[in-house]
Amino acid sequence: MNVFEKEKVLLSIGERIRKMRMLQDKTTKEIAAYLDITTQAYGNMERGKADISISRLIELAKFFEVPLLQMLTEDHYAAIIQFENNELKTSNAFAARQTG
């Protein structure tokens, strides 16, 4: 894997982590405290600027209460969750599924 591919993978995982955090209405500070790291270190993970170990992914999966595989595979929310002006926007179809 070349440097460009590695950066793309880290960014993709970081985006999934960010979406999970925002869907669960958690702050970067809460997750950083859970992981026993600084908020800056956690922010770097979300932005794809830091390597994420498997053990760290396992900790995140436990925090979010999702299977580890979900942390690594294509984001099944991609079509219905988007960021607009750095704010999470969800479609009405997704919101209906969450409440119904």
DSSP 63-96: HHT--HHHHHS--TTTTTEEEETTEEEE-HHHHH
Q: Is the pLDDT of residue 6 over 80?
A: no
Q: How far apart are CA 29 and CA 37, in angstroms?
A: 9
The DSSP bridge pattern shows strands 81-84 and 87-90 to be antiparallel
pLDDT digits (tens, 9 = 90+) for 19-58: 889 989 999 999 999 999 999 999 999 988 888 888 999 9
Q: Quote the pLDDT of residue 66.
A: 87
What is the average pLDDT across 57-70? 90
As a CATH number, domain 3-99 is: 1.10.260.40
pLDDT digits (tens, 9 = 90+) for 74-85: 654 444 444 455
Domain edges within the chain: 3-99
